[in-house]
């Protein structure tokens, strides 16, 4: 069989993910129909639950923030052809860093000092947790997938040990720290907007959303506008050619994994500083693994990652509304619907790539007129 021609970049970034999403929604519609419900009504309920009802947009963007950080964690490593699936552990350790700053510094310093330091601590702790597997891959030949998986388990064990011992709130049996004082809490966006006379419904959305947008911009600048970004992409395309071109391949791999871990660690600013206001067990809630699908669907590009994160945030918030509105659609069915979209957007992301490429190759190409012709 003749191999398919290469897919145009615009089709790979926009058209193919759209086709995958439409197919996933069709399959989900069949599932809803089999349950005796109208799939079109279910779609309307999901959209209203994610964007229309008071406070729903804030919740959607709150979930979106987590997906942006974990999607970036996968995308940065993917540019160097490294598969980082340690976002859960890196975010977990990032939460430890942010929590330590909020617990020890917040009682004696103002918010404008505590929050930036806590953000840096979250990024630093996450970077270290990503740097170690990167070093083992680059200098010791350990497989990045194996080491990042194991570091997820190690991070979980460390957090259980600390929250059941040294960091547990005095006099409490529950595994969590004491609540942060006000100067250790990320300001909510609805409080800030209401102070400016805007009538905004309460939601968990906080300043971490703006930090996530800044991280998307920083990712674009780093990868496509800097020398180290060029080296990361060169290593991802061909490590041997990059080596013969004078690039220090092991150092680039370590750097990419450190930045990747820092992005995952920043997720803790949304959950720990913005919502929980204490370090708790399992606050990552699978966001690190969902970030893999976000990065795949977003084609490791900041614009794609933003819209993929927004889609997953809408699925989380709109899915909760489905569970509330329909008795036959339980939480398990909502998870199944979300899983189908992840399946077609992630694991089966390139299922329609070859047929689409052949179809586009058959379309007539409009030639440019020759200069001087009428």
Query: In this predicted model, what pLDDT tens digit does every residue of 45-70 receive, in sequence order?
Result: 989 999 999 889 999 999 999 999 99
| From the candidate CATH numbers 3.30.70, 2.30.30, 1.10.3470, 1.10.260, the one assigned to the domain spanning 20-353 | 1.10.3470
Please state the pTM of the whole predicted model. 0.91
Element (H, E) at 273: none
| Contact residues for 233 (Cβ-Cβ < 8 A; gap 6+) | 79, 80, 223
Token pair, residue 286, equals: 């699978």
Residue 371: its pLDDT value, please?
A: 56
Token pair, residue 313, equals: 């945030």
Predicted confidence band of residue 370 (pLDDT cuts 50, 70, 90): low
- Residues 187-199: tens digit of each pLDDT: 999 999 999 888 8
- Residues 249-270: tens digit of each pLDDT: 999 999 999 999 999 999 999 9
User: What are the residue ranges spanned by the domains of the chain?
Assistant: 20-353
Residue 242: its pLDDT value, please?
A: 95
In percent, how much of the chain has pLDDT > 70? 96
Report helix angle 287-297 to 249-268, nearest 10.
120
- Residues 130-174: tens digit of each pLDDT: 999 999 999 998 999 999 999 999 999 999 999 988 888 887 778
Measured CA to CA, the distance from residue 156 to residue 18 in angstroms comes to: 36
Q: Which residue, 119, 139, 121, is CA-closest to 129?
A: 121
pLDDT at 1 exceeding the cut of 70: no
């Amino acid at each position: 069989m003749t191999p398919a021609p290469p897919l145009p970049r615009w089709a790979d970034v926009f058209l193919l993910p759209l086709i995958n999403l439409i197919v996933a929604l069709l399959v989900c519609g069949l599932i809803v129909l089999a349950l005796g419900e109208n799939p079109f009504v279910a779609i309307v309920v999901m959209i209203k639950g994610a964007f229309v009802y008071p406070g729903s947009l804030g919740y959607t963007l709150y979930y979106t923030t987590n997906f942006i950080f974990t999607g970036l964690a996968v995308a940065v490593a993917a540019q160097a052809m490294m598969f980082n699936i340690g976002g859960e552990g890196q975010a977990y350790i990032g939460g430890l860093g942010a929590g330590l700053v909020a617990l020890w510094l917040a009682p004696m310093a103002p918010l404008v000092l505590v929050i930036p330091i806590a953000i840096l601590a979250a990024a630093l702790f996450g970077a270290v947790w990503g740097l170690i597997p990167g070093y083992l891959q680059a200098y010791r030949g350990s497989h990045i997938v194996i080491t990042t998986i194991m570091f997820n388990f190690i991070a979980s064990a460390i957090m259980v040990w600390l929250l059941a011992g040294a960091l547990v709130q005095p006099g409490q049996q529950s595994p969590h720290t004491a609540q942060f004082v006000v100067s250790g809490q990320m300001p909510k966006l609805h409080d800030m907007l209401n102070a400016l006379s805007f009538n905004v419904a309460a939601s968990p959305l906080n300043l971490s959303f703006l930090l996530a947008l800044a991280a998307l911009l920083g990712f674009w600048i780093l990868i496509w506008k800097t020398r180290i970004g060029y080296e990361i992409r060169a290593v991802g395309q061909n490590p041997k050619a990059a080596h013969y071109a004078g690039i220090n391949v092991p150092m680039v791999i370590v750097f990419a994994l450190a930045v990747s871990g820092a992005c995952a660690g920043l997720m803790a600013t949304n959950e720990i500083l913005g919502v929980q206001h204490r370090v708790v067990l399992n606050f990552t809630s699978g966001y690190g693994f969902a970030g893999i699908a976000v990065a795949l669907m977003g084609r490791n590009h900041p614009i794609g990652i933003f819209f993929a994160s927004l889609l997953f945030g809408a699925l989380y918030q709109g899915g909760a509304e489905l569970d509330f509105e329909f008795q036959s659609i339980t939480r398990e069915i909502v998870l199944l619907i979300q899983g189908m979209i992840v399946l077609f957007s992630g694991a089966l992301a390139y299922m329609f790539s070859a047929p689409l490429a052949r179809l586009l190759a058959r379309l007539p190409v409009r030639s440019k007129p020759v200069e001087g012709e009428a």
